[in-house]
Amino acid sequence: MILRIWVLSLLSCTFAMLPSMAQIMTGSIGGTITEQSGSVVGDASVGLVQVSTGITRHSTTDSAGNFLFGGLDGGEYMLTASKPGFKTLEQKGIILSTGDRISLEHVALELGTVSDTVSVTADAASVQTASSDRSDVITGKQIENILVQGRKLTWCNFCRASI
């Protein structure tokens, strides 16, 4: 009897932890590299730098000009794209929040030499259009200003905007 209660307690604790493991803590940045005429640029070198840490990731576009960087922490990123015969593109100011899936549009390379650089300051869409996932970041200031009895951390859910 005691063994049965112990096993049931263990199973209920295990199943209670499942919803917390399903939370998304990373985001992704993807897009399509084109040239000015709108044609896709395959086999272009694409780099992504997290500005605060300097961590760099590299990728190559597929034959359709697509690239995707997944498993990214929230923060500010800078994208670089280059291919022989085109100017190097730098797109700065890409802000990724937890759980975001940013799709960059209008990433166009200009004809020129690789030593030429085109800088673009990005404004990512503030509306999540790639998926129905919803995420929010709760700041330390919000936690400090909780005006409830006992300052329970679970009340942080009420600090976020309604869905």
Nearest 5°: the CA angle 102, 105, 110 is 135
Whether 146 is in a domain gets the answer no
DSSP state of 29: E
What pTM value is reported for the model?
0.62
The residues that bridge with 143 in the sheet, in sequence order, are: none
Q: Are 30 and 66 in contact (CB under 8 A)?
A: yes
Rounded Cα distance between 9 and 3, Å, is 10
In tens digits, what is the pLDDT along the chain, a chain of 163 residues? 777 777 777 667 666 655 555 566 789 999 999 998 989 999 999 999 999 999 999 999 999 999 999 999 989 999 999 999 899 999 999 999 888 889 997 789 998 865 666 666 655 555 555 565 566 666 777 666 665 555 566 655 665 555 4
Which residue spans within the chain are E strands per DSSP? 27-35, 45-50, 56-60, 66-72, 75-82, 88-96, 101-109, 117-121
Domain ranges, residue 42: 28-121
Q: Does 109 reside within a domain?
A: yes
- Does residue 66 sit within a domain? yes
Residue 160 is assigned to a structural domain of this protein: no
Q: Are 52 and 11 in contact, with CB atoms under 8 Å apart?
A: no
Q: Is residue 46 part of a domain?
A: yes
Task: Tell whether 102 is covered by a domain.
Answer: yes
Domain CATH number, residue 50: 2.60.40.1120
85 in any annotated domain = yes
The total domain count for the chain is 1
147 in any annotated domain: no
